[in-house]
Structure 1
Amino acid sequence: MKVEEALQILKEHGYKYTGKREEMIRICAEEKRYLSAKDIMERIRELYPTLSFDTVYRNISTFVRLGILEETELEGEGRFRLACSADGHHHHHVICTECGKTSSLPGCPMNVMSSVPDDFQVTGHKFEVYGMCKECVAHAN
């Protein structure tokens, strides 16, 4: 997803444009990894020193609800990244537990699952693989 697409989604759902919202989205767009709310807060504070953590977290929650940000949990903490695409292309990620970088996985494990009961309708699922990217492995050795 591009910043402009994210801002359009906000507008379509009745949210006003603010420089703070745009900057939060830009911060996430610049990274190819998951960021904590604290990471986002530290980066945006350079431009908006009086911005409260509550405001940042409320906006993050709105962005997740609208599909602008994707959310996962690493080390017991919510982490966020700009959604990969606005077209809803279904995919999954491998996630580095050290730096938070992500890469898309081809295919979907649901395609090979045959054990879902017939009387159960799947409405969504999440599949993530955790490990270390080659840069973090190199630094660890």
Structure 2
Amino acid sequence: MHPAFLVINKIVCIQTEDLIESDDLYGVLGDSLLSLGQFNDNQERVDYPEIIIPDGVLELTLAEHDVADSDDVLGVIDLTQDMDMDREFGILEGRARYNVYFFVAGEPDEQLVDRCPEACPTCGGACLRKNHDGQVHWCGRHEWGAN
């Protein structure tokens, strides 16, 4: 079993990492950077799209962008733990206090066999179709070209 899809249901900021300004959170998923939003104390966000987890990616790194100094890594989520159930990840790093509510959908390893090798030109997600001669590619969010 491997992680296939990530759904971030909600991020709650209890306290920002930055003392004066708001936090700009982002995630690192393989080679992709995901903007997770700008947060102030006691603020939450719920409007996240479903994210396809690239093959071989097993972790999501959560970080906070800083202009004045280096970015702060707030935590690393192991995407292979407790797949197919709602999870909560608490962040207690420096001043930062966050709760991240998410769901990782697993997929059997044998479903990697015969998967199309094409990547979406819009988001970089892998084509999820297998043996689809003549059909368009599909990454879960976008369709493109014919095989």
Larger fraction in strand: 2
TM range (shorter): under 0.3
Report which structure shows greater RCO (CA 8 Å, sep ≥6): 2
What is the TM-score normalised by the length of structure 1? 0.28
